[in-house]
Amino acid sequence: MAPARIAVLVLAALSAIAAVVLIRAMSGGGGDDPVQPAAAPPPQAETARVLVSTADMEVGHRVTEADLTWREWPEDAIHSSFLTQSQLPDAKEDYVGAIVRVEVAEGEPLNGKKMVNPGAAGFMAAVLEPGMRAIAVPISAETGAGGFILPNDRVDVILTQQTQIDDGRSMREQHVSRTVLQNVRVLAIDQTFKEVGDDQVVVGSTATLELAPAEAETLTLAEAMGDIALSLRSVADIAYTGPMRNENSLNRVASTPTVRVIRYGNTRQVSVQEN
């Protein structure tokens, strides 16, 4: 073969090889695909334990230990008002006995605005039953069953009034006592809002009672007419389903017939005893 022909063939072969190499380089090369590095796992979100409810709680519900639990919560989703175990480790125990102020759903994080503890601002309004009113009356050991009346007990309200009776022969003073309200719930004695331990008493100067609006008016009138005493009811009487208020008693006291008597230049109103 002529040398010129051999040179052409060699040049053609080299060109072909160069073309193949160039194509492989431009297409990423042949052979096995390069190993892709494994994707790094997403960083795990930091969490903290927050106090949440274990069940739906309505307004006025008294919180029990079973209503509360600590639950892991993403730190970036924790509001500043949440109760966290790291900052308030005793929050679960502290809020047992609190009153729910706003409706709470199961699993909802809790805070101090949703529950109120006894003695805290707003507790009295939270503990009142819908439609009821809180009214305080002065008491002593003598008029408060010796200090044995405690929050959440039930009492009767007794009015004692001094009046003058004209029996037709002479005028004499007489004390009249009547039960004007029955089965009234005691909300607090002074600033004590919850039951105390066994064998304890609370001797206070005021008792806060839960009354309907009309009953609050009756009690206010009774205070103006005479002395008020509270009579402690038996626990067995709380379930009594008959008439719970004795409003007619106060009406009878208030409507006792009176006459104006002028004697030696002095004028006074005296009650007339009816036959």
pTM of the model: 0.55
State whether residue 27 is helix, strand or coil.
coil
Taking only the tens place, the pLDDT of each residue in 208-234 is 999 999 999 999 999 988 888 898 888
- E-strand ranges in the chain read 47-53, 68-74, 99-100, 115-116, 133-138, 154-166, 171-189, 206-211, 227-232, 258-263, 266-272
C-alpha to C-alpha distance for 132 and 230, rounded to whole angstroms: 19
Q: Which of 126, 117, 121, 122 is nearest to 98 (CA)?
A: 117
Domains located in the chain, CATH noted: 47-125 (3.90.1210.10), 131-272 (no CATH)
pLDDT above 70 covers what percent of the chain? 67
The confidence score (pLDDT) of residue 54 equals: 95
Mean pLDDT of the chain: 77
Beta partners for residue 211, in sequence order: 133
- Give pLDDT < 70 ranges for the chain: 1-12, 25, 27-36, 141-147, 166-168, 192-203, 238-275
pLDDT in the model for residue 127:
78
Q: Could you read off the pLDDT of 13-43 as tens digits, one per residue?
A: 777 777 777 777 676 555 555 666 777 777 7
Q: Report whether 223 contacts 157 (CB < 8 A).
A: no
Q: Distance between terminal CA atoms of the chain?
A: 161
